[in-house]
Amino acid sequence: MLDAQDLQRLIEIITEEVIAAGRTGTVTTRCACHAVGNDCCPDRLRVVLDAGATRLGLHAEGALPSGVAGVIDHTLLKADATRAEIEKLCREAAEFHFATVCVNPAWVAHAARLLRGSAVGVCSVVGFPLGATTGDVKQYETRRAIYDGATEIDMVINVGALKSGDLRTVERDIEAVVEPCRQCGVTSKVIIEAALLTDDEKVTACTLSKAAGADFVKTSTGFGPGGATPADVALMRRTVGVEMGVKAAGGVRDLEGLKAMVAAGASRVGASAGVKIVQESKGQSGAGAAPSGY
């Protein structure tokens, strides 16, 4: 149960977001499953997907254009990833022009050296995959990753604190990572691990992330009990509005999966199958995924 101070803080945050949302428009219909906007459910998106519609600069002209690579974080986060696999990941990222490579902290410096001079960023995970380290440890991990060359940070929230109603700890945990990112001009993403949360908890996690000044909210680590779903992406997009990014990660393995996430509101997608997805968008086939299980 929330104490009075935490409850008041949550009410203040949600009130601010509701007022802000009211300035940009009102929601006239609400879905039965989440009681939020009418773009929440995959069933309500089906007509849009069938028509080939996407968002965020992707053109609905049959297959997505080659620019699809620009929304993908090319990802390899398995514990036994080798130097050769990381180097392959970076070569592919440079060749296909992915947004970033997403790697564990131990590989950040090497990836940054390999990608120096390219337009591809280096994304490091922090507090990964459980989120159960303390905020000061996550802050140090963030600063070290930035020092090593990370241009984006994907941090995992303290899921247990959130589910315990300890919102103060969750907010401070996020701020501990967002602060050094902001100081260094690095993009911050907050992984909420949606598969472990109720819809109310997802909304709370996204609201706290926005209040802490994060740049993105992200669905999943890819190591939890489930990955990204269009319904979760749409709920997160509705919660954070247009000001923040939403990253879908976990289980996006083909072009249709990516299209569904983008149509639901994702502005970035984390995938190990990035090469396959880009080749599908060009009408090619035969590409495999990087061996990450992400």
Please name the residue ranges forming H helices in the chain.
4-24, 42-50, 83-96, 108-115, 135-148, 159-163, 167-184, 199-211, 230-240, 255-264, 274-281
- Where does residue 63 rank: exposed (0-12), middle (13-18), buried (19+ CB within 10 A)? middle
Please check whether residue 37 is in contact with residue 233, taking contact to mean a CB–CB distance below 8 angstroms. no
Helix, strand, coil tally for the chain in percent (to 5): 50, 15, 40
| Structure-block tokens of residue 89 | 């990941």
Q: Catalytic residue among 210, 218, 259, 276, which?
A: 218
Please check whether residue 110 is in contact with residue 86, taking contact to mean a CB–CB distance below 8 angstroms. yes
276 is catalytic: no
Q: Catalytic residue among 189, 202, 247, 259, which?
A: 247
Q: Catalytic residue among 39, 73, 148, 154, which?
A: 154
Phi and psi torsions of 236, nearest 5°: -65, -40
154 is catalytic: yes
78 is catalytic: no
Active site residues: 154, 218, 247
